[in-house]
Every structure is written in structure tokens, then in C-alpha cells.
Amino acid sequence: MTLRTALFIAIIVVAGQLGDLALSRAMKTIGEVKRFTPANLLRVLGRAFRIKWMWIGIALMTVAFFSLLALLSWANVSLVVPATAASYLAGALGAQFLLGEQVNRERWIGVIIVCIGVALVCV
Amino acid sequence: MAESKSRRGKTFILLALMVTFGSTGDVLLSQGMKQLGELRSWAPEKAIAFFTRAFESGTIWLAVALLMLFLVSYMLVLSWADFSFVSPASAIGYVLVALMGYFFLGEHVPATRWIGVSLICVGVIVVGGTHPSTTQNQ
């Protein structure tokens, strides 16, 4: 694996997960959705797209998406596997340290098993 | 307690919707793009013609609609559930795709993939045993 490939895998994992974490932060600001009527859902979505974190999330996911396209232009699809599997670990770390979620030991064990499983499915 | 029980219930319903919309959307998108054939040149007029054809395909429109429903369910569940709960739990989508491929498309699923699928199931059950929401929503 070249340095450039490693760098792009890191960008895909970090930007992709930070994007999802930003989206999660935006939705936490809105708070628990309790009524699932079409009118209320539209109102919730309208509010979400007026939150700064939503757009930060979209921007980061766009960076991750185009980095993936770039990576695939010179690397084999199989190189995406470490990125996909590592994303689950990076996402849980980010949720704990950036969003203040309590990731207990049980959840960590589950996340690690999922990572290994995803890596095996994708090889 | 009743509150936390009903929250767990709606978390699993929303996760099921997310995974169904997401996996079906992905499969249809991949099918639709394969029908278009390979994009051979990034010359502007070739690329524009390619994407115009993409948007004339009913399969691709259906896929886009499903992926939008996926995004809405994802956003809704994150309004109360932890990201560190939703993200690993949604890996069950890989299991769904493998099963759909095996039963409906008659695809050959290699042994390593079945082992991976089983591990994902175990991991999701372990994560599913934790509390979906550990941060205080206002």
C-alpha cells in the first residue's frame, strides 16, 4: 500500500465518520421526535436543514465521497475494505469523545465484533 | 421505564426501515448503473450524456427515492438514539444483502462471507443489548 493510498483511506474514514457525527449532533439538537405525522416530519426536516452542523456534516460526507471516487480511480476495490471496517471503530470513538455518548464495555465488544464481521463480508 | 421501553421499540422499527430502504436502494442503484454500462470517458459532453441517461432510468429514480427515505429514517432515529448504537446496529444491512443475494438471486455466497454475516449478527445482538440512548436530549 502506497503512502497516497493510506492517506486517502484515512481521509475517507475520518471525513466520513466526522460527517455522520455532525449529522448526529444536529439531530440531537432537535431532540427526540415523538409525533410521526407527515406535517411534523416535514417540520423536523425543515429545522434540521437550518442547523449549522447539518451542513458541516453534508460537506464532510461530500469530501469522503469524492476521496473514495479518487481512491477507486487508481486502487482496487478490495482496498476499501479496511476503510469500511475501521469506520465502525472510528465512529464509536468519535461518539464517545465528541458527542459525549457513554460507550460501555458491552457496546465496545459489539462494535469490534461487527468490524471483524464487516471485514470478512467485504473480502 | 415505560418511556424507555417505547423508545427501544421505536428505535428498532426505525432501524428496520433504515436497513430495508438503504439495502434495497443500494442494490437497485447498482443494478441501474450496471444497465447503463461503464462510464469510459470524463470528457464533459460524454459525462453529461451519461448522467442524463442515468436520470432517464426508472430503476435509478426508485433507488434515489429509497435512499432519500433511508436518510429521513436515519435522521429521525438519531434525534434520540446514540450514533454509537445506530451505526453498528445498521451493519445488519450486510446480512440482509447476503441473504437476498442467496435466496432471490441464487448467488453463491463463499464461506468467509457466511462467517462474516454470523459475526455481524452476534455483534448487533451485543450492541442491541445496550441502552439506545445515553445522552440527555433537551
Tell me the whole-structure pTM to 2 decimals.
Answer: 0.89
Put simply, the answer to whether B123 touches A110 (Cβ < 8 Å) is yes
Residue bearing cell 421499540: B9
Residue spans of the domains in chain A: they are: 3-122
Look at residue A80 in the predicted model and tell me its pLDDT: 81
Put simply, the answer to whether A96 touches B122 (Cβ < 8 Å) is no
Q: What is the mean pLDDT of residues B90-103?
A: 90
Query: Is residue B4 less than 8 Å (CB to CB) from chain A?
Result: no
Query: Is residue A99 less than 8 Å (CB to CB) from chain B?
Result: yes
- Scanning A74-93 for CB atoms below 8 A from B yields 88, 91-92
Query: Is residue B116 less than 8 Å (CB to CB) from chain A?
Result: yes
- Within 10 angstroms of residue A92's Cβ, the number of other Cβ atoms is 27
Average pLDDT, chain B: 89
CA distance A13 to chain B (A): 14
Q: Per residue in B59-86, pLDDT tens?
A: 999 999 999 999 999 999 999 999 999 9
Put simply, the answer to whether A106 touches B137 (Cβ < 8 Å) is no
Look at residue A63 in the predicted model and tell me its pLDDT: 96
Look at residue A13 in the predicted model and tell me its pLDDT: 95
Task: Calculate the alpha carbon distances from B66 to A64, A71, A123, B73 in Å.
Answer: 21, 27, 27, 11
Least confident residue range of A97-101, A117-121, B29-33, B60-64: B29-33
Q: What is the mean pLDDT of residues B37-64?
A: 85
CA distance B82 to chain A (A): 7
Average pLDDT, chain A: 93
**Distance of alpha carbon A114 from alpha carbon B119, whole angstroms:** 6
**Distance of alpha carbon A110 from alpha carbon B20, whole angstroms:** 21
From the list A31, A32, A114, which residue is nearest B88 (CB)?
A114
Q: Per residue in A28-68, pLDDT tens?
A: 999 999 999 999 999 999 999 999 999 999 999 999 999 98
* pLDDT band, very low/low/confident/very high, at B9 (cuts 50, 70, 90): very high
Query: Is residue A5 less than 8 Å (CB to CB) from chain B?
Result: no
